[in-house]
Amino acid sequence: MASSDRTGWRRVLLKLSGEALGAREDSIDHDVIARLATEIAEVKKDLGIDVALVVGGGNIWRGLSGAADGMDRAQSDYMGMLGTVINALAFQDALERAGQPTRVMTAIDMAQIAEPYIRRRAVRHLEKGQVVIFAAGTGNPFFTTDTAAALRAAEVDADVVLKGTHSGIDGVYTADPRVDENATRYAEVSFLDVLANELAVMDSAAIAVCKDNDTPIVVFDVMTPGNFRSVVEGAAIGTLVR
Contact status, residue 210 vs residue 161, Cβ threshold 8 Å: yes
pLDDT digits (tens, 9 = 90+) for 42-97: 999 999 999 999 999 988 887 777 777 788 999 999 999 999 999 999 999 999 99
pLDDT digits (tens, 9 = 90+) for 107-131: 999 999 999 999 999 999 999 999 9
Q: Which residue has the higher pLDDT, 171 or 67?
A: 171
Q: What is the pLDDT of residue 76?
A: 92
Q: What is the pLDDT of residue 13?
A: 98
What span, in angstroms and rounded, lies between the C-alpha atoms of 76 and 73? 5
- Percent of the residues in the chain that have a pLDDT greater than 70, as a whole number: 95
Segment holding 202, helix H or strand E: none
- Give strand ranges (E) for 22-124: 50-55, 102-106, 115-116
What span, in angstroms and rounded, lies between the C-alpha atoms of 164 and 32? 13
* Helices of type H across the chain: 30-47, 63-68, 73-97, 119-127, 145-155, 191-197, 204-212, 227-232
Q: Name the class of domain 11-241.
A: alpha beta
The domain locations on the chain are: 11-241
Q: Can you give the pTM of this predicted structure?
A: 0.92
pLDDT category at 4 given cuts 50, 70, 90 is very low
- Residue 27 confidence (pLDDT) above 90: no
